[in-house]
């Protein structure tokens, strides 16, 4: 796919509209897109053509405002909260940001203008998913994503939601239809390549085929490891199951009308570009974007999108973040968020730099006494040399050159859809 073209629902749409497109878009904006669904007693009874028209309309609305999600930051529980997303948006204007997964029962307000941003929800109750999606409409998320990939025992271990949903693609298709029926933005699924011994390429394809056939879902984020639900921790689930990037690239071959984002084991902008050069539609980075935000996110706009850098130094980012931090303290009720909550993402801002260790030790002490972000920074930032605070961002860290070298030689045999199973699911 050529940069500058956005792939949605099996076609390439130029991101800048023609005059006719603009007229059509204005027409669509006079009514709720989900009225198409709500006029039907069963969302799945709509024809594939009608579902694709609705999907095109939703996708065009988003595509007209933002650059494509060639680079996104993965949803990470307890990490990608509003404070982290605010810091990330100060560093990169164009990276797509995801909320941490929110249970359908606990949708909360999205603070600030951090677009483009995706809400990830988790759940297995259709009524709650519908209500959560409808509530989220007021907060102007740019996409709604259903978590079918979290291996945490708190989420998947009881068969509730997360990666255990991959074992029930019929339900996921129904859930995605419900979500799509209650929102005006595109919907997507984030999943693993398998669960326990359900880990063959054909089983992954069965999941993708059934969900996309039973719902208007056209975007899947693929974590290229399977999940093991018994015996290992969530952290081990990110390292022990082997990465199989060949499964991801085979999906591009076998489902040309769908859009896929590659996730898992990718840590630098250099590696993101390597994946894109091999044909990946989009790429999602996880912990590297949290643990080293300056060098990971700081090169996204220029190296991925070919856009100008923000030009901010770390000192300027900290100054802007301090204004946000002091404004947000205590606004959630019960004196929350605290200084510690707001400053948590900034603890990784000086990763591997001179003074980083002293900064963190001073931070531990400052958390005990400081009541404002300003006072916290006055106590701690002195540990960081001016040369670090005031210098422009340096060259991006190099990635592993061989990460995708032989991926196209390892592709599994092509998938043949089992039409009868999908028809029976109806």
Q: What is the pLDDT of residues 246-277, one digit of tens each?
A: 999 999 999 999 999 999 999 999 999 999 99
Q: How many CB atoms lie within 10 A of CB 31?
A: 10
46 has pLDDT over 90: no
Q: How many CB atoms lie within 10 A of CB 283?
A: 22
Instruction: Note the pTM of the prediction, 2 decimals.
Output: 0.85
CA angle at 317 for the pair 79 and 78, rounded to the nearest 5°: 5
Q: Phi and psi of 218, rounded to 5°? A: -130, 5
> Is position 150 annotated as part of the catalytic site?
yes
Contact 114, 85 (CB under 8 A): yes
Q: What is the pLDDT of residues 296-342, one digit of tens each?
A: 999 999 999 999 999 999 999 999 999 999 999 999 999 999 999 99
Reference 115, options 60, 65, 189, 185; nearest CA is 65
What pLDDT, on a 0 to 100 scale, did the predictor assign at position 35?
A: 41
Q: According to DSSP H, which parts of 158-266 are helical?
A: 169-181, 201-214, 245-254
What pLDDT, on a 0 to 100 scale, did the predictor assign at position 401?
A: 82
Could you say which DSSP state residue 300 is in? I
Q: According to DSSP H, which parts of 354-418 are helical?
A: 356-369, 373-380, 386-390
48 has pLDDT over 60: no
What pLDDT, on a 0 to 100 scale, did the predictor assign at position 93?
A: 97
Q: Lowest-pLDDT range, 62-71, 324-333, 353-362, 412-421?
A: 412-421
Q: What is the pLDDT of residues 275-292, one digit of tens each?
A: 999 999 999 999 999 999
Selected catalytic residue, list 148, 150, 191, 370: 150
């Amino acid at each position: 796919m050529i940069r500058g073209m956005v792939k949605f629902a099996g076609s390439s749409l130029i991101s800048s509209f023609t005059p006719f497109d603009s007229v059509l878009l204005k027409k669509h904006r006079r009514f709720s897109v989900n009225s198409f669904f709500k006029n039907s007693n069963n969302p799945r009874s709509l024809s594939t053509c009608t579902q694709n028209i609705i999907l095109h309309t939703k996708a065009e609305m988003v595509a007209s405002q933002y650059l494509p999600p060639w680079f996104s930051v993965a949803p990470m529980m307890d990490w990608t909260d509003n404070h982290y997303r605010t810091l990330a948006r100060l560093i990169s204007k164009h990276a797509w940001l995801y909320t941490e997964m929110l249970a359908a029962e606990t949708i909360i307000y999205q603070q600030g203008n951090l677009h483009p941003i995706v809400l990830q929800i988790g759940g297995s109750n259709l009524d709650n998913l519908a209500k959560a999606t409808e509530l989220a409409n007021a907060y102007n998320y740019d996409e709604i994503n259903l978590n079918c990939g979290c291996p945490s025992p708190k989420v998947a271990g009881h068969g509730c939601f997360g990666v255990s949903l991959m074992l029930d693609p019929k339900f996921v298709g129904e859930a995605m239809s419900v979500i799509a029926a209650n929102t005006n933005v595109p919907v997507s699924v984030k999943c693993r390549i398998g669960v326990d011994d359900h880990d063959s390429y054909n089983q992954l394809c069965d999941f993708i085929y059934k969900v996309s056939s039973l719902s208007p879902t056209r975007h899947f984020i693929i974590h290229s490891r399977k999940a093991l639900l018994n015996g290992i921790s969530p952290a081990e689930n990110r390292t022990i199951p082997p990465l199989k990037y060949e499964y991801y690239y085979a999906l591009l071959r076998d489902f040309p009308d769908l859009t896929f984002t590659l996730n898992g084991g990718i840590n630098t902008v250099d590696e993101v570009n390597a994946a894109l050069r091999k044909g990946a539609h989009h790429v999602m980075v996880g912990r590297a974007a949290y643990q080293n935000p300056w060098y990971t996110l700081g090169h996204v706009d220029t190296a991925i999108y070919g856009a100008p850098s923000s030009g901010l130094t770390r000192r300027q980012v900290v100054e802007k973040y301090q204004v946000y931090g002091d404004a947000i303290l205590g606004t959630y009720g019960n004196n929350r968020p605290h200084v510690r909550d707001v400053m948590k993402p900034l603890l990784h801002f000086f990763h591997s730099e001179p003074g980083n260790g002293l900064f963190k030790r001073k931070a531990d002490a400052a958390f005990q006494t400081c009541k404002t972000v300003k006072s916290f920074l006055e106590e701690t930032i002195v540990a960081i040399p001016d040369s670090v605070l005031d210098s422009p961002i340096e060259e991006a860290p190099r990635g592993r050159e061989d990460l995708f070298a032989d991926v196209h030689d390892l592709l599994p045999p092509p998938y043949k859809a089992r039409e009868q199973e999908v028809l029976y699911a109806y």
